[in-house]
Amino acid sequence: MKLSYSFRFFFLIAILFTISSNAQQFNGSWSCDYATYDDESNGVGINAVSLGVIKENTFVALAYSTSGGTDFLVGYTNADSALGRMGFYPYNGGWHQHWMSGFDDLEMTGAASLAATPDSLIYVANNDPARNVLVFKLGSDSVISADYRISTGTDSIWAIAVDGNGLVYVSTFIDSSKPGQVLVFNSIAKDGNWAGLHAPTALTKITVPDAGILRGLAVNSNGTILYISNYTAKKIYCYTGSPATGYTLYNGFSFALNDTMTSSAGTLLNPGPWGMSFMNSKNILLVACANNFMLGAGYEYGRIYALNPNTGAILDTIDCAKWNFDQTGGYNQRSGGTVGNVSGYTSPYNVAYDEKFNLYDQSYFGWTVDKWSFSGTLPTIPLTITSVEKQDNIIPGKFDLSQNYPNPFNPSTTIEFSLNKASNISLYVYDITGRLVTSLIQSANFPSGNYKITFDASKLASGTYIYTLKNGDQQLSKKMTLIK
């Protein structure tokens, strides 16, 4: 009996890596429900660089031109391809919107990103001399100024995100040859500077490890996990922590965009990651990937990836360029701007979602906002990461996996492992049937040393689980028990 049981257990371990997780599978496909018409009655009116969603079919688009002649916000409510736009806007741009509060008047200039919240506030990363975050509000018939703004300093700003507590995250940069930073500011409710002196002190500051322009930010609702996209370095960083205690780079997450391709005309396309959004409750990280303000050949690439938030693994893809081609037979074939479910000129620089988990992107060169729906049921990914900590500078004598502690546990436990040499490792958790529950670390490079990671199983059912550490040459497994 003992021999038979051991055989079955090790046979199970041997096949674990060939079994996919039903809980992490996308069982349907994405389709574009509508793209706002590029015309004077419902269009953005010029290039749309970013957007923010307030609720289903209610959103705000940011009009912006690289020539510097345009910066304004366009509100939509109950939108579809032909209807929903609030107010009148000059077609083909040529207008800068102003933020005003009493005698305080600032012109929108160089604003390339915005974030919207369910209470209809719109936060704009503006590049006036004081690099203000300007706050607007979606009113009943237009976008209006709110009485809030803050100066972020002297460095240029690009990406912006707001967490569930109203804290504001802003990326800054000097130029692409230097590492960018992210500043975190307290909420309007907790910092009077938003309505007062407009010059708060950042709660914390994060400097990424590589040079480049940080074009995307995404944060979970309580601000404990922050994602930063570096367009220049073609990668996304994951940080864990909090604004109060600071953030630590999480090495278990790894995403690098390797989508270099040659267009049909022979032009080299080298896209990077742009805007991002963290889909709370589903725990899916969305990232828009596109070329750098590239006309013509650039229309042949544009994708939105759905990523595992713990590891960075790609779980699903919206190929916007392929959708455009399949619907029209070309990459720039939106005749008259009135094909209702295609932008026609692929250039998705940002992505957002609504309360029903529909996705929205914008086409910079199509001058549109596009809504995507999923035919199946989106999975919920267990959000298991907190951080991986290196415990000391001692080089261990062997590759080892320790028994988790406490064990049994509820709801979190600590897993320790040792690497006697620099390794590319993965750490997986399976249930007793062999179904993959989550990837705590997936194909991440770690130097030699002793490490520990906290596994949060608060969303899992009681039972026995198996955790497995793999370094390419070897794999080690142990059991742990969750009791609720």
More reliable by pLDDT, 167 or 68? 167
Mean pLDDT of the chain: 90
Q: How confident is the model at residue 387 (pLDDT cuts 50, 70, 90)?
A: low
Rounded Cα–Cα distance for residues 191 and 210 (Å): 31
Torsion angles phi and psi, residue 5, rounded to 5: -65, -45
Mean pLDDT in residue range 367-376: 97
Closest by alpha carbon to 414, among 404, 424, 427? 404
pLDDT in tens, 292-315: 999 999 999 999 999 999 899 999
How many other C-beta atoms are found inside a 10 Å radius of the C-beta of residue 121?
19
Residue 266, burial from CB neighbour count under 10 angstroms (0-12, 13-18, 19+) = exposed
On the question of a common fold for 10-22+382-482 and 28-374, the answer reads no
Angle at CA 358, nearest 5°, toward 51 and 231?
45
Using an 8 Å Cβ cutoff, are 62 and 115 in contact? no
- Cβ-count burial 80-106 (b if 16+ within 10 Å, e if not): bbeebbbeebeeebeeebebebeeeeb
CATH code of the region 28-374 = 2.120.10.30
Domain boundaries, the chain: 10-22+382-482, 28-374
Distance CA 225, CA 402 (A): 26
Residue-level length of the chain: 484
Q: Mean per-residue pLDDT for 145-168?
A: 97
In three-state secondary structure terms, 170 is strand
Note the pLDDT of residue 367. 94
Considering only residues 156 and 242, tell me which one the structure prediction assigns the higher pLDDT. Answer: 156
Q: Is the confidence at residue 458, as pLDDT, over 90?
A: no
What residues contact residue 175 under an 8 Å CB cut-off, 6+ apart?
Answer: none
DSSP run (H or E) holding 321: helix 320-328
* Whether 52 contacts 124, CB under 8 Å: no
| The model's pTM | 0.80
* 179/207 Cα distance (integer angstroms): 7
How do residues 55-97 score in pLDDT, each as one tens digit?
Answer: 999 999 999 988 878 999 999 999 999 999 998 888 887 889 9
Q: Residue 112: how many CB atoms within 10 A of its CB?
A: 24
Cα dihedral sign, 169-114-218-54: positive
Which class is domain 10-22+382-482?
mainly beta
Instruction: Copy the structure tokens of residue 88.
Output: 């009148």
Q: Are 305 and 291 in contact (CB under 8 A)?
A: no
Largest CA distance in the chain: 84
Average pLDDT over residues 348-376: 97
